[in-house]
Amino acid sequence: MNKHRDPERRNRRIEDYPKRCMFCAKEIPDDEFSREHSPPKCFYEKLLRNDVDLKGLELPAHKNCNNSFSGDNEYVRNILAGVLGAENSSGAKALVNGVIPIFMKNSTPKKLEATYKKVKLRPAYSNSGIFLGNKPSIEVEWSRIERVLFNMIKGIYYKVSMQPMPTNFHLLVLDASVLPSEVVHHDVEQMVHWQSIKGDPEVFRCRYKIQRNNTEAIFLINLFNYFYFWGEALSPEALKKYQNKELFKPSSPKSKILVPYYLAY
């Protein structure tokens, strides 16, 4: 059977992929082989893991490449699952009642401060702009969220194209709510329908369009049934083609995003 034409992607197992790293795209010698989960396994609360098809998330990666992101993965999990609005996801709720308080309890004050930056009461608004009162909010490190999302994009790309994304691709991720809705609507319509793994408790799902011989791809990633992130991946040639057209660029620096947080302080 030609695995590249397997219509049932969710049934793929790590043995089906080439022995090449999802992060750096290079070949993996046997003694450096490890299983990376994309999205990261830590996004799924331990007690839920029996119900979730984690094997469906596995991709080949070098041990070293794999380990270099674990801090970012935990950071992003702790931040996003605890944000006001995300608590409607059963997966986020399980994390907030499970591993996140354990992380907080076991952290030094310095480590806590590094994760939950500038905690302060600030006015909070719902997505539709309704004032929710003053809530504890924190400053978020966008660069770490961006790194984790880049890896998620690489994971989707690898699963769909059966080859790791070349490292010279130009990557971009944005909060999807900043994009003009008519543009997003047009592109989203062309994407495949929402994809998730079996048993996913509203932690991760995605839509995407990968085209032109795998040189251009767009993604919509939904985390904890609350956050929508837009992603783009372009080969250097594809990027050149778009250079005269307007590519989406975030209008404001993302390093100082403040999000209302609902964990107890």
Binding status of residue 23 toward Zn ion by CB under 5 A: yes
d(CA 197, CA 236): 31
Please give the residue whose beta carbon sits closest to Zn ion in the complex.
Answer: 21
Task: Show contacts with Zn ion in window 32-91 (CB under 5 A).
Answer: 62, 65
Q: Is 258:138 a contact under the CB 8 Å cutoff?
A: yes
Instruction: Fill in the amino acid letter for 175.
Output: D
Smallest distance from Zn ion to CB 55, Å? 21
How far is it, in rounded angstroms, from Cα 201 to Cα 216? 30
Distance separating alpha carbons of residues 49 and 97, to the nearest angstrom: 15
Report the distance separating Cα 73 and Cα 154, nearest Å: 15
Site size toward Zn ion (CB under 5 A) is: 5
In whole angstroms, the minimum distance from the beta carbon of 159 to Zn ion comes to: 17
Q: DSSP character for 220?
A: E
**Distance of closest approach, residue 22 Cβ to Zn ion, in angstroms:** 8
| Shortest Cβ 68–Zn ion spacing (Å) | 9
Least separation in angstroms between CB 234 and Zn ion: 21
Of the pair 62, 77, the CB lying nearest Zn ion is at 62
* Residue whose CB is less far from Zn ion, 73 or 115: 73
Instruction: Pick the closest to residue 254 from 157, 150, 178, 163 (CA basis).
Output: 178
Among 14, 20, 24, 87, binds Zn ion (CB under 5 A): 24
Task: Report the 10 Å Cβ neighbour count for 186.
Answer: 10
Contact residues: Zn ion, CB under 5 A: 21, 23-24, 62, 65
